[in-house]
Amino acid sequence: MLTDLAHIKLADRPLIVCDVDDVVLQFATPFEAFLLERGLTLLPRSFKLTGNIVDATARALDAAAVKDLIHDFFVEQERWQTPFAESVDSLNALAVEADLVFLTAMPPRHAEIRRRLLDRLTLSYPMISSEDPKGPIVAALHENRPLPVAFIDDMVSNLHSVHEHVAECALVYMPPDVAIFRHAPEPEPPVQKAQDWTEARRLIEAHFHC
């Protein structure tokens, strides 16, 4: 199952738990293009999708319609989603000395497609697909091992969740360079912000070797 932890076997080395959407694979930018193809526009008025996706008459779609759109996008993700610059090379380099686990917050029914897309990109690392809070999941993976652990995400709430449950975890915030993220909340220390994958890799390697 791609939705539980049982299939993940860690070695005696550091652990990196990494989000996928808008961290490894672009989400916001291709989702906007997907919307445009359907005559819809995402207005960067606040940090949420519901209320900001409008049709040609400027009417905002309701929550159910937005959920359906995200579903359709994930079904078609192989057509739309591409990796960020340096993400594949950085992850493969980090995975030489650490175990890497993808923790993707997409509905589990899309997990097989996501698995196939990551595999095609040479990112054949274990993946968990879950919409539950990320902190308890990272804690269950790490199990208080006396080894370094790091977590990368573009959502401040996920980083704070992991901080609450795994106090020693290095936390890397990597927001995509898209307009709607200008409304995103700022992370609290000890979360560190990375501009790109080169910086994220440097922060994680520094944590592993400190």
Q: Which residues in this chain contact Mg ion in the complex, by CB under 5 A?
A: 19, 21-22, 154
User: Nearest Cα to 86, choosing from 200, 172, 204, 197?
Assistant: 197
Task: Compare residues 33 and 97 and give the one whose CB is closer to Mg ion.
Answer: 33
Output the six-digit token pair for 68: 């359906």
Which residue of the chain is nearest Mg ion when measured via CB? 21
Q: How far is the CB of 102 from Mg ion (least distance, A)?
A: 11
Q: How far is the CB of 184 from Mg ion (least distance, A)?
A: 11
Burial class (CB in 10 A: 0-12, 13-18, 19+), 106: buried
Task: Compare residues 19 and 99 and give the one whose CB is closer to Mg ion.
Answer: 19
Task: Compare residues 22 and 99 and give the one whose CB is closer to Mg ion.
Answer: 22
Task: Compare residues 143 and 186 and give the one whose CB is closer to Mg ion.
Answer: 186
Task: Compare residues 20 and 166 and give the one whose CB is closer to Mg ion.
Answer: 20
Q: How far is the CB of 158 from Mg ion (least distance, A)?
A: 8
Q: How far is the CB of 144 from Mg ion (least distance, A)?
A: 26
Q: How far is the CB of 209 from Mg ion (least distance, A)?
A: 27
